[in-house]
Structure 1
Amino acid sequence: MGIDCTIMGELAETSRRFTPMGRSLMLGRQEMTVSNNPLRRPYNSKKRYQRMLDRHQVDASIEDIIQADGYSETLFDALGFKDIETLDVLDYELDPERGGIIHDLNKPIGPELEEQFDFIFDGGTSEHVLNVITSLENIYRMLKPGGRVLGVHPLNGWPAHGIYQFTSELVYAFWKHQCNCEVVKCLALSRTPHLFRRDLHDPTVTGKNNRFRSVLSPWLKTPACRLYLVYEAIKGEGAEMGDAPQQLRYNITWKESASKTGVRQ
């Protein structure tokens, strides 16, 4: 998807709380979507990017961050994710000097990549991988204990963008309930900065599904704007991948049914 002004804000917010001591990785070499025409794309103008940097107290100028090739390594360096590496399925986008890791996320990683990274950025890559669980398991296995992943994926208003459209159910089911990781944040965020932002909870804690109303009308259940799903998870020292859980909201229904009927589900 690339790193627009809104996604950069989430990266900057994470960088204020976490600085990796070891290797960092982005899945797919991410471009920056800085617009040179503020009338056409006002929310990705250089001025908007600079305001986001200033808001998160990043001591850098957007002019210094922009790379001639349009990619984002300089941005990651400015945020504290030094010498970030790239994993991709092909090498045609890789920088010849930096290189990268060539691997198809449809397939399990080899032992040489296990527990190698303190930080992994999945900026809209996993939803393009058919074997999506293998892809997520690869991310989990590549993280060191104590490492964290920041994921940004289309949630609403992106039909046929990828093979899948991720939801908060997937985030909590995989990272929290299967992998025993801590989900630091999970939210729905409008592509247009500051228009829509809602925390998405774990339904097994609240007993309710995640729902939100439109910013234009309380009768519409879906906001009338494009939304990102943004999540951050930490692989704790004692994290261990377990069996795949059932969909979380059905667990709630089954437990309610069992309490009424006395039949064990």
Structure 2
Amino acid sequence: MGIDLTGLRALSFAKRVYKFDFRNTVTLGRHEIHFWKQEYDAVRANLNFGYDESIAVGAYCESLLHKLGAENVVSIDASAFEGASLIHDFNRPIPNDLHEKFDTFLDFGSIEHIFNVAQVVDNIVNIVRPGGHILIATNANGFPAHGLYQYSPEFFFSIFSNRNGFKDTSVFLVRPSRPKTWHLIKRPVILKRRNEIPFEDQAVMLVFSRRVRRVAEFSVQQSDYDATWTNFATGNWASWDRANIPRWKSILHRLASPFLFRGLSYQFRSLRVRRKYRADRIVIDPDTMDPFDFAKIIADPAAPESPSGEKLNQVEGATQLH
């Protein structure tokens, strides 16, 4: 668990663009500083504090959070081995006296290690007061042996949804090899299909959200199933029919062995997924993103490309707005 260069950028983005209030902050786990001074220098233009030994590699994050405006920082962990201020296993419900106590919840790499996912979600929702913010950094792909889980964007879109009292939820994928640019993932409900995300690439995920109200009942359903069940209930539903298999696929089935077919299918799907991903994602530079432009993107994920995106488009081959 720790705050690396991407985590530092995420904190800067949270304060500058999302307007996080860090005064009362809770962290899941006690996070170490993993970024080097040279990496801090790459982000310093958006930080209103200088570098010193209190935020050097290996230090814990309290000093960094105080520099961001925190007055009270509570770290929660199941063990005391890293000196967390509150020992509590997130597999179990948090005490009632922690409900709606904090302005900001931060996690830089803990939730993928905790088995009881539903309880973790319940604890996160309960611990942040209405008006408070959530920032989660976790693994998305390419870290299969790191923790118990790797998460999908849909997981967080379904949890931090309007129906559950959240607003302005955004999910980014960041490739460790190119941390300068973030890929904003559009919600499946906007795409009217599931996200297409390359499955060969290593990626970490950043999740930002704001809790706006309490809800009587917390409910999580994958968004495309919501749409499918609605279509079924209204009679607007067509069952699968073998006759609808494309002719080219039927011919290929007859001419090729299933092993060859599946190998070719994998390669074809990989190319198709990458093409759709390039079309769907919105590439941003978190260090230069204008807060007002970002608010428009969140309000309308299908917003047209800004003319200023030409340079990043040449580098990334994707839509960029700033």
Q: Taking structure 1 as the reference length, what is the TM-score of the superposition?
A: 0.80
CA displacement at 1:30 relative to structure 2: 0.2
Q: Deviations over 1:189-228 (max 9, x none)?
A: 122344652212221233121124xxxxxxxx3363x311
Please list, as runs of the form range in 1=range in 2, the aligned pairs for 1:1-265 lying within 5 A after superposition: 1-16=1-16, 17-20=18-21, 22-34=23-35, 45-54=36-45, 56=46, 58-67=47-56, 70-94=59-83, 100-176=85-161, 179-194=164-179, 197-212=182-197, 221-222=198-199, 224=201, 226-236=202-212, 238-240=213-215, 242-256=217-231, 260-261=236-237
Q: Which blocks of at least 5 consecutive residues in structure 2 are unaligned?
A: 240-322
Q: Which blocks of at least 5 consecutive residues in structure 1 are unaligned?
A: 35-44, 213-220
Percentage of matched positions with identical amino acids: 25
CA displacement at 1:239 relative to structure 2: 3.0
CA displacement at 1:72 relative to structure 2: 1.4
Q: Distance in 2 between matches of 1:59 and 1:242?
A: 40
Higher helix proportion: 2
Q: Distance in 2 between matches of 1:72 and 1:205?
A: 37
Q: Deviations over 1:20-66 (max 9, x none)?
A: 274111110001113xxxxxxxxxx4212221122x2x132333442
The residue identity in structure 1 corresponding to 2:68 is L
| Pairs aligned (count) | 237
The residue identity in structure 2 corresponding to 1:222 is F
* Cα pair 1:87 1:101 within 8 Å, conserved: yes
* Cα pair 1:15 1:80 within 8 Å, conserved: no
Name the residue aligned to 1:218: none
Question: Which is greater in Rg?
Answer: 2
* Cα pair 1:177 1:245 within 8 Å, conserved: no
Q: Deviations over 1:153-181 (max 9, x none)?
A: 00011112111111111101111155221
Q: Distance in 2 between matches of 1:69 and 1:7?
A: 15
Name the CA shift for 1:68/1:254 in 2 (closer, same or farther; >3 Å). Answer: closer
Q: Deviations over 1:140-161 (max 9, x none)?
A: 1111111111011000111121
Q: Deviations over 1:60-112 (max 9, x none)?
A: 23334425852111111122233322111111211xxxx61111100011111
Question: What's the secondary structure of 1:222's corresponding residue?
Answer: coil
The residue identity in structure 2 corresponding to 1:9 is R
Q: Give the aligned CA root-mean-square deviation in angstroms.
A: 2.4
Name the residue aligned to 1:215: none
Q: Distance in 1 between matches of 2:237 and 2:55?
A: 62
The residue identity in structure 1 corresponding to 2:77 is D
Question: What's the secondary structure of 1:70's corresponding residue?
Answer: coil
Q: Distance in 1 between matches of 2:110 and 2:119?
A: 13
Name the CA shift for 1:251/1:25 in 2 (closer, same or farther; >3 Å). Answer: same
